Amino acid sequence: MGYIKRREKIYKWMETESLSLVMFQDNEERRDTAIRWLTGHPGDALLFLSSDKKALLVPWDINIAKLYASCDFMTPFMDYALDPVKALESSAERFKIPVNGKIEIPSRTSYPDFLQYVDKLSSYDIICRRDGVKSKVEQLRMIKDNEEIRIYRTLSELTNQIIDLIEQNVRDRQLKTEMDVAAFIEYEARKRDCEGTGFTTLAAGPERSFGIHAFPSYTAAPFAGTGLSILDFGIVLHGYTSDVTMTFAGGKLSKAQEERLDLVEKAFHLALSKVKDGVLCKNIAQSVDTFFKKSRLSMPHGLGHGIGLQPHEPPFLRSRADNEWKLSPGMIFTIEPGLYDPVEGGCRFENDILLTEKGAEVLTHSKIVRL
């Protein structure tokens, strides 16, 4: 029922825009998780929504689609020789789109491809725009529905289990290298019937934690030795990803390292205290920037971001002047203050937050681990 309700919101919007048909495309060239959000199909497909409130899925793998997808009609992509223009032509005929009817194609369509659509479907008004259906779907996806929140509560509990196991195994010296930790996360996620990790795990030992995102993301180097180590990971359940960062502080630390750990932890709680309905995201980020500035330090990345079917989604908690996103109940996002230094190493503290009608709820319990 959740997918039907989501499509209903798009149908209502299509009516206000006088659209007869909209097209979504998810393939290797143009990934778009909107298709999964609207149907449950995990990927590699076209989706057509018509003004008469019907959905046609055109999957590359029809067997997977029959197992996972919820829609009115399904036709294998191979029936159109894997040609999206032919698929759109057929869909327009199937749904009896009138002459000069407005059809919106994906905003990321290249100009040469756009010309092909216009040439092949000359009797229709083909629209390709930045602020069209893609923007509408992004806006809707920022506010998680009850089904998505249910998934996130389960996902967060699984993430927390892995967080605790990582800490235990690091303390017991069962996980000694960056590679050990990354492989352990993948194994534990799959063991819990997750789809794997939401992004490549970032495991950086004391010699590499100075980078915001260590490169390579993990190696065979020691992890959680003397100094600061960063572990940034997420796991995926029903397409949705968590995103947490732990910092491991080992051995005798320098005064500067101790100061940075303390500041990052305080910055997290400062940001959390400002999470309220209607607050501008940039105001929260600016408060953390000001806090760090008092110690003559600065954070080289945004304070946080939305999460969902992608590891980075709106809203974004960053200080940019053009950031006009506001927090609303139903949003799930990260708070992840961090400080980095080529000599002292880096530290970051990240958890996933759900804004409810009652206020901020911290879903995950990532931490700064002192060894």
| pLDDT single digits (tens) 301-319 | 999 999 999 999 999 999 9
Rounded CA separation 154/362 (Å): 13
Cα radius of gyration rounded to whole Å, the chain: 23
Rounded CA separation 330/260 (Å): 32
Rounded CA separation 168/228 (Å): 17
Q: Which part of the chain is CATH 3.40.350.10?
A: 2-140
Show the low-confidence residues of the chain (pLDDT under 70). 1
Residue 121 has a CB neighbour count (10 Å cut-off) of 18
Topology given in CATH for the domain delimited by 143-370: Creatine Amidinohydrolase (3.90.230)
Q: Which part of the chain is CATH 3.90.230.10?
A: 143-370
Note the pLDDT of residue 321. 87
> pTM for the complete prediction?
0.95
Note the pLDDT of residue 33. 96
Note the pLDDT of residue 30. 84
Query: What CATH architecture does domain 2-140 belong to?
Result: 3-Layer(aba) Sandwich (3.40)
Residues 6+ apart with CB under 8 A from 108: 30, 32, 134
Note the pLDDT of residue 1. 63
Residues 6+ apart with CB under 8 A from 128: 104, 105, 106, 107, 109, 114, 117
Pair 204, 189: CB distance under 8 Å: no
Residue keyed to tokens 């530290």 = 347
How far is CA 234 from each of CA 261, 306, 362, rounded to the nearest angstrom?
Answer: 22, 13, 15
Residues 6+ apart with CB under 8 A from 192: 158, 161, 162, 235
